[in-house]
Amino acid sequence: MVDDDFCCMAPPTNGIGTQKKARLRTLTNEIKRFIFANPGCSAQSIVSYLSNEKKFRNHGLTPRKVGFFIPRHLKTDVRWWQDHTAGRRVYGPDAEE
């Protein structure tokens, strides 16, 4: 019975971590696209857009995670500055782009 199940399974792939890399690439592209379309946005608006509009609900995104993600993975494309009235970081495209 068990041998019957193994004959129908797909062969193992050689790409280790390819789904993780694809998710990372998709997330960076979507965050970049949103920031370039809406300069001056906050991490909360990015999370709201991704989870409601783009259906990234199962990714466990929070404004804190996005706030740590942007300087780590998008530091060459995105700038941030402090919004002193609200006391939060605001993101926009890099001036050189």
Taking only the tens place, the pLDDT of each residue in 22-70 is: 888 999 999 999 999 999 999 999 999 999 888 877 778 899 999 999 9
**What is the structure's pLDDT at 44?**
94
Judge whether residue 8 has pLDDT over 80.
Answer: no
Q: Where does residue 34 fall: left (phi above 0), alpha (psi -120 to 50 degrees), or beta otherwise?
A: alpha
Q: Where are the alpha helices (DSSP H) in 1-97?
A: 2-8, 18-37, 43-48, 63-73
Residue 93, H or E segment: strand 88-93
Domain ranges of the chain: 40-97
CA-CA distance, 33 to 37, in Å (whole number)? 6
